[in-house]
Each structure stands twice: as structure tokens, then as C-alpha cells.
Amino acid sequence: MNLLNRYIISIFTRFFLVILVALIALYGLIDFLEKVDDFIEHGARLSHYLLFPLYNLPLILSNTIPMAILVAALARIGSLSKTSQLTALSGGGISFAQISRPMFLCGLGLSLLAFLSNAWLLPLANREAHYLVTTELEGAKTLETDREDIYLRGDDFLLNVDNAFLDRGEISGISLLLFDTDFQLLERYEAVRGHYLDAGKWELQDVHQWKFEPETRQVTSYDKHKAMIASLKKTPQELVEFWQNPEEMTLTELFGQIDKNTREGHPAEIYRIEAQVRLAKSATPLVMVLLGIPFALQRGRQANFSLGFIISLLIFMGYFLLHATFTAFAHATILPPWIAAWSANILLALLGTWFFLRMQN
């Protein structure tokens, strides 16, 4: 790597890190202020206050890195132009492509890091944050949360679960209905959480039990149990496909679930959309470099950091508006998942390429 590349990368990295730290602090502060009331209400311990931001950090990085790299690209090229360094370099026979190449390499490196984070680190961190909030923090209040109307039906039971944690073999917010051979309701169980034992058996904790008269459906008895064994006839792997949030699944798990659902004839669009969105977001840092450099050159020596930040914010808002719109089209089955996920990136990349070629000419 020659001296020029090292110089540009060092200054660009400095801009990027300073802006990234500022955005993380702002994002984290806003997120903390939104959730602090819930933490206080549920009597959170000091460890909860420390762990939750840590688990949330990959999500914050995923949302702030593209913005930081866009502002850094605008600021770096703007500073070169404002101080006449760009003119001097061009006069020395160094092309604009050579000047911008180090920043593209930084963008490519950040895109690779974003891919690794979005594929594995981010979903694992989301699982831990979700588990902390729904299980450790809320505790018994999990029973009060709203359940989705998704029930798993067996020969003699209906099962609904709020959350399924595959790695821990644990489920929470359990509603279990038992029926006779005529599908008349016999018993109802509500449990805060359950731990998998073996052979489809689960240990349910903090259980509320109601028994019914099948003909009249009147309650005949009510009991509370600290713990009890129930045969749900399902392993954690079989339960997780119904209740695990796609955002908490790694890229490998998403593609595995897509293949499984496709073979068994079940819908898989929600998993396809999430997988394509993860891949598309990984390319966003590189797109932002391509878009930021020519925008900075538009201002020439009049470029300044405040204006660059405002332009970056407007570009970023436009990007996420496009991304959200196309993703909504995918969920409404108007567009295929891969087109919806990549459309915002493609449109901004085309715009950036046009500006870039125009500036180079």
C-alpha cells in the first residue's frame, strides 16, 4: 500500500470512528430513554441495565454504520476539496479513481463485516436481548403479554407459545388445551415457562390448571402448581419453527427453514424476505461510499461538515423509506423477496454511479 492510500485511509477511518461513536451514543441514549420506564417498572437489576445495551449493540451498529460511512465519505472528500489537496493531487497526475479507491476498499471491508454481523452475530444478540426482556426481566408478567393467534394442534391438544428459545430448550408464555376423543375441552393449562426434558416431555413452571365438564364446559376445579411434567410430543426444534422470530434466526437457520418449508409445502416467504434483507443490508456501506463521494464533490471548496451531515441524513432517510416501502411490497406478495430487498440498494447505486462517472469526466 503506497503512502497516498495510507494517508486517505487513516483520515477516512478517523472521520468514520468519531462519527460512529457519536451516532452510537445518540442512538443508545434514545433507546435507553424509551425503555428505562419498563426496566424500572419490572425492578431491573444493575446487570440488566448493563447487559441489554451490550446485546443491543450489534443492532445499533447495523443501523449506524451506513450513516457513519456516508458522513465520513462526504467529510473526507469535502476536506480534500476544501483544502485544495484534491486539486494538487489531480495536478500531480493522480486520477480521481485512484484517490477514491482507498475509501471503496474501506466500504468493501465494512460490508464484509456487516455480512458476518447480520448473518450470525445480530440474530444471536437479538435472541439474548429478547430472552432478557421476556424471561429474566418480566418474569411472571409474561402471562399478561398478548399472544399471537398461532396454535399447534395435536391429536388431543392445542398449544400456543409466546416465545421459543431453541438454544436453551425453553419456551415461555404457554397455553395448553387438552381434549377428549370428541374434541370436547377437558383441561386448560397456563404456564410461565417450560424446559425440555426428553422424548417430547416438558417441565412446566408456575402452572395454572383448569378442569372442565365436557358437556357443559363449566369449570369443575382450579389448581396452581409450582412445576409439573407435560407431554407436548414436540422437541424444541419442532416448536421453534412456529414461534421463533425470523430476526432471531441466523442466516444458516433461515436458509434451512426455507428449504424445510419448501419441501413440506409450507409458506416460506417470511424467511426468504428476512434472508434477502440481511444480504442487502450487508452491501449498504459500499453503496453509501459510492453515493457519498460524488455528493461531496458537488460542493467543491464550499463543502462543510454541517451541510454534509444534513445531506447524509436526507440520503439516509430516503434510503430507508425506499427500503421499507419495497419490503412492505414483498410482505404483500407484490414483489419477489430478492427484488424488494435489493431495490433500494440498486437504485442508490445507479444514482451514485451516474454522479461518480459525471464527476470523473
Write out pLDDT tens, residues 105-151. 888 999 999 999 999 999 989 888 888 887 767 553 433 334 455 66
Q: Provide φ and ψ at 181, rounded to 5°.
A: -65, -20
Give CA separation, 41 vs 58, 91, 219, 271, 279, in Å.
26, 64, 34, 34, 38
pLDDT at 61: 92
pLDDT at 39: 83
Across the chain, the runs of DSSP E, i.e. the strands, are 152-153, 157-165, 170-179, 185-196, 201-212, 219-231
Low-confidence ranges of the chain (pLDDT < 50): 140-147
Q: What is the pLDDT at residue 360?
A: 59
Nearest to 305 by CA among 105, 100, 82, 88: 82
Contacts of 333 (CB under 8 A, 6+ apart): 269
CA separation (Å) from 244 to 3, 25, 231, 241?
A: 50, 30, 21, 6
Q: What is the model's pLDDT at position 60?
A: 92
pLDDT at position 281 is 93
Rounded to an integer, what is the distance from CA 34 to the centroid of its chain? 18
Q: Would residue 206 be called left, alpha or beta, if left means φ above 0 and alpha means ψ between -120 and 50 degrees?
A: left
Can you give the pLDDT at residue 145?
Answer: 39
By the 10 Å C-beta count (0-12 exposed, 13-18 middle, 19+ buried), 338 is classed as middle
CA atoms within 13 A on the CB side of 142: 27
Residue 53 CA to residue 31 CA, distance in Å, equals 9
Gap between the Cα atoms of 28 and 79, Å rounded: 29
